[in-house]
Structures are given as C-alpha cells and as structure tokens.
Amino acid sequence: MREEDLSRIPDDELLLLFKAGDRNAYEQIYNRYWAIMYVYARKIMADADDAQDIVQEVFTYLWHKGAELSIKTSLAVYLYTAVRYRIFDLLDHRKVRTDYKAYLQQFIDEGEYITDNQLRERELVAVIEREVALLPAKMREMFEMSRNEGLSHKEIAEKLGVSDLTVKKQVSNAVKILKEKLKLFSIFITINF
C-alpha cells in the first residue's frame, strides 16, 4: 500500500497491516506516534535524552515483536502504557543504583572502620587472655576472680584463705604487668595500622 493511503487508515487497520509484515505500516505508526510519545515522556522525565531513549526503546520493541504482538487495547493506549512502564523501569533502576551507591558509601564510611575496630578488639582480647594465662598461678586466680567473677578483695580472701592485703597486692601487680604488656601491644597496633 502507498504511504499516502496509509496515512488515512485507522490505527487498528494499520496495526493489522504491520503485524502482517508491512514495513510501510510500521513507518506510518512511527511517524504518527513518535512525537506524541516523546512529548508525553518529556513531561515526566527531566532529561530530554532519557525521554527520547525511552520512546525509541518502545518503538524498537514494537518493531522486533511485530507479528507476535497481542494488543488488546487501542494502539495509542498500548504505546502510552509502554512508555509509562519504561519510564517506571528506568526510575526504579536509578533508585536501586542510587540506593546501592548510598549503601556502598555507607560501607566505605563506616564498614571499614567498624571492621578495623572489631579486628583490633579481637586481637586485644586475645593478647589479654594470653598475658593473663602467663601470670603466676595464684596471681592469675585472684585476678580472674576479681575481674571475671566480680568478687571483692574480701570475698576472694575468704575463698582462698588469705588476707585482703595479699589479694589487693596480687591483683594490683597483675594489673601493672598487663598494662605494661598492653603498652607494647598498642605501640605495635599504632605502627602497623
């Protein structure tokens, strides 16, 4: 059919011709609706290139699907709906990308810091446990009763049958030894990090 003749026929007949393989029918649909769909997309999209890309995608899809298309509404409604859904898809994709960027930035800002702190904390706990294990047996026992069990010097003295002063002196010595060892650890941490 000649192009002049196609410009006069209604959309439903034009669509049937296109589905039957008439390239001129597709060109007529394109010429009839591209500008209208662009204006519609442009009203929603801030970026002119995005609006143009969306409309072009819809017409490309229409071209590729051809005979497979099953349009249950009018051609105009189908095209408006297709453009609207492509806009929603693009906006959703951008939101996911923006959310991902925000999450990634948060991880960079906080995650690495938290991870470093957790690693240092674990290393510090391991050093403390190792150094406590190296304390003399009685000193270690009194220190652990004081720090881990939360017993007072008097309670420890009663349990072990020693004086309060002995417990106080042993716990104090244990703390001094651990402080000295931990100074070395903190210097090592500072140098390596």
Tell me what pLDDT residue 5 has: 75
Coil, strand or helix at 128: helix
Q: Give 146's Cβ-side CA count (13 Å radius).
A: 21
Place of tokens 């190296």: 134
Tell me what pLDDT residue 101 has: 73
Tell me what pLDDT residue 70 has: 83
> The tokens of 17 are what?
């011709």
Cα–Cα distance, 186 to 178 (Å, whole number): 12
Give the domains, in start order, of the chain with CATH numbers.
Answer: 3-89 (1.10.1740.10), 135-192 (1.10.10.10)
Tell me what pLDDT residue 111 has: 56
Per-residue pLDDT tens digits for 116-169: 667 777 777 787 888 888 888 899 889 888 888 888 999 999 989 999 899 899
Tell me what pLDDT residue 193 has: 45
What is the chain's pLDDT, residue by residue, as a tens digit (193 residues)?
Answer: 555 577 789 988 998 999 998 899 999 999 999 999 999 999 988 889 999 999 999 999 999 988 788 888 889 999 999 999 998 888 888 777 777 777 667 766 665 555 666 777 777 778 788 888 888 889 988 988 888 888 899 999 998 999 989 989 998 988 888 888 777 666 555 544 4
